[in-house]
Amino acid sequence: MMDFDELAADGGSPDVMIHRADSFYGNQALRTMDDLRQVGKLCDVILDIEGTRIPAHRIVLASFCQYFYTMFTGEMKEAGLAEITMKEVKPRAMEQLIDYAYSGELMIHIDTVQALLNTASMLQLPDVQASCSEFLKKQLHPANCLGIRNFADAHTCTDLKLASGHYAVTHFNEVAYEEEFLQLTKEQLSELLQSEDLNVASEEEVYNAIIRWVYHDKASRGDHIAELLQEMRMPLLSPRFLVDIVEAEDLIKQDMKCRDLLDEAKNYYMLPERRNSLRPSQITPRKSTVGSIYCVGGMDSTGHSLSHVERLNLLSGRVSIEASMNTPRSGVGVAALDGKLYAIGGNDGGKYLSTVEMFDPATRMWHRVASMHQVRRYHSVAILDRQLFAVGGYDGSTVLDTVEAYDPRTNRWRRIASLEGKRRHAGVAALHDCMYATGGSNGTLYLQECEKYDLRMNKWLPIASLSSKRGGGGLGAVGGRLYASGGYDGQANLNTVERYYPEEDRWTFMAPMLECRSGHGVSVLGSTMYAVGGHDGVHYLNTVEAFDDHSGEWHRNKPMGTSRAVVGIAILTNIPVTNV
């Protein structure tokens, strides 16, 4: 016979045993109650919503949410009622939530999510609110993000409000053309315009959005324009835009406060010594207009072609290493188009290349796209009419006069009209509706001749020559002018800079760079032109300097990590700050 006293001595209790139900116990109990509810058994309350009667059990509802717990256990009159009329909720949403109370499952659909979120907010169901908010985040679109933001604000859904607000400022250019934007109140628009994260290429886009909003209801909104213009950075509008567009606007002419703001913005350029009197918020660029310089490929001091890529964040000054290209490339053409970076041709250290790679900053990966029709090194690249143009260069035996155009929408290259003369190491940039090629070398002589490409005519035409021969010089377009910087004249590397006035077809010297450099990269952001790397005649450079079109002066910027020449550079804006 078993000795139970002996078992007790070992630490067990002979009189007690605990039985625990399996994990499905609670679910089974709720399923049984739901079955009873479906046939109207043991229900002790009916919810009446717009004539829809929903039977239920008080104990389940009280256990389900704080709203019903307070109603049934407190001193509210509903505690003793067999039928309770509920207002300001949709019958279908309440039915779904009562089903959820019994089943633990809730189907959220685009057609019902707002009613569910509204009802869940009233019933104090934070888990349902959170799920509805996550669902709506996935539905955000330029056409609905402002409406969702207002809805989230009304229902204290903080995460959804932040997410939809972030979406609105990130996609501002698209949002500004949607009906919801035009329906914003003046206060809501003002709050949107104040955001440092407003994703615009320039303040011109902000101005155009304000004017569009005002003209939607000119009679009642015209008086608000001055107040809204104060929320933008008017002094950061280009001088041409201020004179040609803002000053010509009737709404500006008719409002004294607007004219004062316009004068203040014009004085920013005319009287630079008074800029300190302006509020910092008026002249501080938004984060989106501060981009990152990508320094791509090139040749280092050992003569090797490089594949690695560096990124200089212009906001923080920090240099980081990005994904390397699939192929080393020196003498590479680089440009940014539609938020992507393109590396075109070059030399991999053994052969000349026609291949092209595209870098997507969202994935931080390089991908191959269509190759050019011919190999090119020491060519130049420009953007015109949303296409990439590869101009001239060298194929290993011959200096080229050929030009090709790439359309990323079709992933195709096509030949266009050839240059008037053969050029490698030329400066190339687009200005207005034309593309310009300056200086370079024809393989025998360094050049000062220049020409421009007329897109409509598909023809290159001669223009005024540079004052200096420039091979390996940089060319950038800032403020409606071209700037040819540095280069090699056959005897020395240069630091001189020439400015071109297209309406007068003339070049003039201006403030020189701080260093002599040729084979450097040039890129423009807003009213600032950057010169990166190159060779000074003795050393390969990693230095960066910036020309401010407003002041007409050069200043030093944070350097890149690697010294290199015949390098490609481009600027991408709108890089998320969290990736810095």
For residue 468, what pLDDT is reported? 97
Q: How far apart are CA 269 and CA 236, in angstroms?
A: 10
Residue 395, both tokens: 């194929």
Residue of 343, 335, 464, 317 lying closest to 388 (CA atoms): 335
> Residue 26: helix, strand or coil by DSSP?
helix
Q: What per-residue confidence (pLDDT) applies to 41?
A: 87
Kind of pairing between the strands at 521-525 and 528-532: antiparallel
Is 362 a residue whose pLDDT tops 70? yes
* pLDDT classification of 12: cutoffs 50, 70, 90: low
pLDDT band for 507, please (50, 70, 90 cuts). Answer: very high
| Percent of the chain whose pLDDT exceeds 70 | 95
Provide the CB-side half-sphere exposure for 287 (13 A, CA).
15
The span from the CA of 425 to the CA of 214, in Å, is 49
For the cut 60, the answer to whether the pLDDT of residue 485 exceeds it is yes
494-502, long-range: CB within 8 Å, 24+ apart, which pairs? 494/468, 494/470, 494/518, 496/468, 497/547, 498/466, 498/467, 498/468, 500/436, 500/450, 500/463, 500/464, 502/431, 502/432, 502/434
Q: At what angle do helices 126-138 and 145-154 cross, to 10 degrees?
A: 170
Q: Label the pairing between strands 83-85 and 45-49.
A: parallel
Determine which of 108-112, 377-381, 458-462 has the lowest per-residue pLDDT on average: 108-112
Q: Which of 150, 146, 148 is nearest to 134 (CA)?
A: 148
Instruction: List Cβ neighbours of 58 (8 Å cut-off, separation of 6 or more).
Output: 44, 45, 68, 72
Distance of CA 115 to the CA centre of its chain: 33
Q: Tell me if 232 sits within 8 A of 207, measured CB to CB.
A: yes
Q: Are 175 and 146 in contact (CB under 8 A)?
A: yes
Angle formed by the axes of helices 158-170 and 126-138, nearest 10°: 10
CATH number for the domain running over 184-283: 1.25.40.420
Q: How confident is the model at residue 577 (pLDDT cuts 50, 70, 90)?
A: very low
Residue type, 143: A
pLDDT higher than 80, residue 284: no
Residues whose CB is less than 8 angstroms from the CB of residue 411 and which lie 6 or more positions away in sequence, other chains included? 369, 370
Q: What are residue 450's phi and psi, to 5 degrees?
A: -135, 155
Q: Which two tokens mark 463?
A: 């223009």
How far apart are the C-alpha atoms of 127 and 113, rounded to whole Å? 14
* pLDDT tens figures, 223-247: 999 999 999 999 988 888 999 999 9
User: Are the C-beta atoms of residues 500 and 482 closer than 8 Å to each other?
Assistant: yes
Q: Residue 255 pLDDT > 70, yes or no?
A: yes
pLDDT score for 575: 44
Per-residue pLDDT at 576 exceeds 70: no
Reported confidence tier of residue 34, pLDDT bands at 50, 70, 90: confident
Is residue 532 within 8 A of residue 560, CB to CB? The reply is yes
Residue 466 has pLDDT above 50, yes or no: yes
Show the 3-state SS of 367-410: EEECCCCCCCECCEEEEECCEEEEEEEECCCCEEEEEEEEECCC
Q: At 295, is the secondary structure helix, strand, or coil?
A: strand
| pLDDT (average), residues 119-132 | 92
Q: Sorting pLDDT into bands at 50, 70 and 90, what band is 415?
A: very high
pLDDT of residue 7: 46
Q: What pLDDT digit, counting tens, does each position of 515-552 carry? A: 999 999 999 987 789 999 999 999 999 999 999 887 88
> What is the rounded distance in angstroms from the CA atom of residue 552 to the CA atom of residue 557?
16
In this predicted model, what pLDDT tens digit does every residue of 439-459 receive, in sequence order?
999 999 999 999 999 999 999
Q: Which residues of 206-215 are buried (b: 16+ CB within 10 A; e: fewer)?
A: bbebbbebbe
Q: How far is Cα 74 from Cα 69, in angstroms, rounded to an integer?
A: 8
pLDDT band at 14 (very low <50, low <70, confident <90, very high): low
Pull the structure tokens for residue 352.
Answer: 């000349």
**564, 547 in Cβ contact below 8 A?**
no
Q: Look at residue 185 and tell me whether its pLDDT is greater than 50.
A: yes
Angle made by CA atoms 291, 296, 300, in degrees to the nearest 5: 130
Of 93, 62, 96, nearest to 79 (Cα)? 62
pTM to 2 decimals? 0.58
Residue 391 contacts residue 428 (beta carbons within 8 Å): yes
Residue 579: the pLDDT is 32
CB 370 within 8 A of CB 406: yes
| pLDDT at position 4 | 42
One-letter identity of residue 21: A
pLDDT band at 13 (very low <50, low <70, confident <90, very high): low
Lowest mean pLDDT of 6-15, 245-254, 382-391, 408-417, name the range. 6-15
Domain residue ranges in the chain:
25-152, 184-283, 290-579
**Separation CA 428–CA 438 (nearest Å):** 6
Contact residues for 461 (Cβ-Cβ < 8 A; gap 6+): 420, 451, 452, 453, 454
- Report the 3 state secondary structure along 198-259: CCCCCHHHHHHHHHHHHHHCHHHHHHHHHHHHCCCCHHHCCHHHHHHHHCCCHHHHCCHHHH
Q: Are 469 and 439 in contact (CB under 8 A)?
A: yes
Question: What confidence score (pLDDT) does residue 150 get?
Answer: 93
DSSP per residue over 159-208, as a string?
HHHHHHHHHHHHTHHHHTTSHHHHT--HHHHHHHHT-TT---SSHHHHHH
**The domain 25-152: what is its CATH number?**
3.30.710.10
Residue-level pLDDT at 290: 74
Q: Which residues contact residue 138 at a Cβ distance below 8 angstroms, ignoring those fewer than 6 apart?
A: none
Which two three-digit tokens encode residue 497?
């800079």
Q: Is the pLDDT of residue 6 over 60?
A: no
| Continuous segment of H or E residues that includes residue 354 | strand 352-360
- pLDDT band for position 278 (cuts 50, 70, 90): confident
Note the CATH architecture for domain 290-579: 6 Propeller (2.120)
**Taking 50 as the threshold, does the pLDDT of residue 491 lie above it?**
yes
- For 491, list phi and psi in degrees, rounded to 5: -130, -35
Q: Which helix (H) or strand (E) holds 482?
A: strand 481-485
pLDDT for position 10:
52
